Amino acid sequence: MEEHLKGLNAMQREAAIHMNGPILIVAGAGAGKTKTITHRILNLIKNGISPDKILAVTFTNKAAKEMRERIISEIKKHIKGQDSVPFVSTFHSLGVYIIKENAHILGLTRHFTILDDSDSTTLIKESLKELGIDPKQYDPRKIKNIISREKGKFTHLKDYEEKVYDYLSKLVAQVWALYEKKKAKENSLDFDDLLLKATKLLKEKEEIRKIYQEKWEYIHIDEYQDTNEVQYLMSRLLSEKNKNICVVGDADQNIYSWRGANLKNILSFEKDYGKETKIILLEENYRSTQNILEAANEVIKKNVYRPDKNLFTKNKTGEKIGLYEALDENDEADFVATKILELLDKITDVPLKGVSQADEPRGSARSTDLDSDPSKVASIILSDVAILYRANFQSRALEEALLRYNIPYQVLGVKFFERKEIKDTLAYLRCALNPESLSEIKRIINFPVRGIGKVTLIKLFSGEKENLPIKVKIKIDNFYKILEEIKEKIKSSKASEVIRFAVKKSGIETELSTGTEEDMERLENIKELVTLALKYDNSKDGLGIEKLLEDASLASDQDSMMIAENKKTETNAVKLMTVHASKGLEFKYIFTTGLEDGLFPHRRNNESKNGEDKEEERRLFYVAITRAREKLFLSFANFRTIFGSRQINAPSEFISDIPSDILEKEGEEGGIKTIYI
């Protein structure tokens, strides 16, 4: 066997050595799909395919970073003197790349601003007001979500305007039209535009389509089950000439239909690409114990919309799955917290008793030296533990219990790039490159305070600057002078140096240095941004800052956790997250909470789920189970207070799907238990 294929099992190896034509790799949870894709790409290069001809696309920056690093590592190990690497990115980053190269066709500059969720919502809100509609009557977020869903279906404004049929759809069309005008004026795009406009270029401009078809002859799409209509079309357009497309996915992990992910994309792959399509099943799991996999297989086999597969492993049988029946959500949270302490004592023989964290921030670990503080040994193990829940509101009781027992924790979902101080700093950089971005200008022109009020802004944005008092005009000119200086710095300096300069020149550093303790914490976060920027320092001519801004705009919840884990104060903590946010992650110990009928599987009031909806809830539970490597705990509460109303609950039907011989009840050791009500 060739050296670069060693370490692969038979099915992984078969996928890796496949060269030409379409291939579908159905990869079960923990079956080594990233390893398989990496070695497939390596094999292509070993067989004479230039890395420049290879494209690999996935969904999060975290996944793209991991894949890129693995590919580079394998190339260095097996191919001497090979400097170039394949193009590895997320779908949205790929969209940005195509749009930047063709910005003039779209009436944009290459320094267009990517609006985040809150910026988009603000423009929608402004559009509603311009139409004389009270935003309290029609939620801007709801309208934004409707527009986003339509764009995900590759629907353009003109298409939507032709099918309006009631007052709401007519209103959405009017808001959408104003929203597009506002973005055009600001030289900005939202997330959905990055896919929609790039795909539109590929579809409608044959000369552009040919460029990228010739550029990337071999295409790899990860997490194919999560693609929506636009991503599906983009993949087809890029691969239609050479047909060398490799997609990897698992129908059992399709959990994003509410974002537009279309399960039929993976189920219909063979139909779409013809009989020459090769299909390979990766069923050997390297992550979990046999008991965990047995539970997962028994749960998911009830679904109909899936290719038949059965995960197996050579790992140990492992412990049984723990099941706790709680009185209410507080009892459930108390069980989770005390069980975590029990696990720590069991693993390390070092109890956490007496370790106080009263003065420390939520989610942080103690900052004493690792070698001198034995309790720190226990806290390191905390990073092996995750608590999952179906809905965000469930975290409250869990957080209270963790605080009560002095257990450090981190809630996944609070994005690093959404913190005010980070957004303010990045806004200075964006405005320096794109001074047409009025939303960003509005954000920072009076931060730090410069005495520029709302009335002044209205006149400035209306082209009435000359009518302003001389002192105000000087303030505005000084602000734009700062942006010019930052722009010049971007052209000539490293990314980390640019951020230091911008923070100092803008006055942010002085503002936060002389403020409250909370301000000092914000300044620490900006310093972390400088640290993060170091990895962009090798790029020249301002491309480092461009890439940093792009990555910041497209960061996901998991990417935020990746940033946080570079900070020792936040690494050693239990992770709390929704099951959706846990996809792609794994932990030794998983607590899946709230397994009650109506909560998990989730059911909203007056909502009737069809067969596919019910199957998605089952797939979501399957994802929760397969995050665990060594031990899985399940829990449900007989009573739970939801929206102020105490409800009686039946256990989730999912629990009964797990064979009783691999379940064991928790909390029946006897003794008195304190219930917090």
pLDDT at 643: 60
Least trusted range by pLDDT, from 244-248, 377-381, 488-492: 377-381
Q: Which H, E and C letters describe 359-406, residue by residue?
A: CCCCCCCCCCCCCCCHHHHHHHHHHHEEEEECCHHHHHHHHHHHHHCC
Residue 44: phi and psi, rounded to 5, are -60, -45
Instruction: Tell me: is residue 31 an annotated ligand-binding position.
Output: yes
Does residue 217 contact residue 246 with C-beta atoms inside 8 Å?
no
The span from the CA of 151 to the CA of 148, in Å, is: 5
Going by their DSSP bridges, the two strands 639-642 and 645-648 should be labelled as antiparallel
pLDDT tens per residue across span 25-62: 999 999 999 999 999 999 999 999 999 999 999 988 88
Arch. (CATH architecture) of 417-555: Orthogonal Bundle (1.10)
In the residue annotation, 631 being an active-site residue is answered as no
Whether a cis peptide bond, with omega within 30° of 0, leads into 659 is no
- Catalytic residue of the set 122, 225, 253, 289: 253
Q: Which of 12, 13, 34, 62 is catalytic?
A: 34
Say which DSSP state 626 is in: T
588 has catalytic annotation = no
Fold category of 3-96+196-284 in CATH: Rossmann fold (3.40.50)
Same fold, 3-96+196-284 and 286-352+373-408+572-676: yes
If residue 295 lies in a helix (H) or strand (E), which one and from where to where?
helix 290-300
Residue 33 annotated as part of some ligand binding site: yes
Query: Across residues 104-111, what is the average pLDDT?
Result: 92
Which region among 212-221, 306-315, 330-339 has the lowest average model confidence (pLDDT)? 306-315
68 is catalytic: no
Per the annotation, the verdict on 475 as an active-site residue is no
CATH topology of domain 286-352+373-408+572-676: Rossmann fold (3.40.50)
pLDDT tens for 53-76 read 999 999 888 889 889 999 999 998
Domain ranges of the chain: 3-96+196-284, 114-186, 286-352+373-408+572-676, 417-555
Give the pLDDT mean for 91-109: 95
Reported as half-sphere exposure (CB side, CA atoms, 13 A), residue 3 has a value of 6
- For residue 359, pLDDT over 70 is answered with no
User: Can you give the pLDDT at residue 610?
Assistant: 60
Residue 30 marked ligand-binding: yes
Q: Is 27 annotated as a binding residue?
A: yes
174 catalytically annotated:
no
Active site annotation includes 571 = no
* pTM of the entire predicted model: 0.82
Is residue 255 classed exposed, middle or buried when 0-12, 13-18 and 19+ CB atoms within 10 A define those classes? buried
Amino acid letter for position 76: K
At 158 the three-state DSSP class reads: helix
Q: Is 363 annotated as a binding residue?
A: no
CATH of domain 114-186: 1.10.10
Q: Tell me whether residue 34 is annotated as binding.
A: yes
Distance CA 602, CA 237 (A): 37
Instruction: Quote the pLDDT of residue 62.
Output: 84
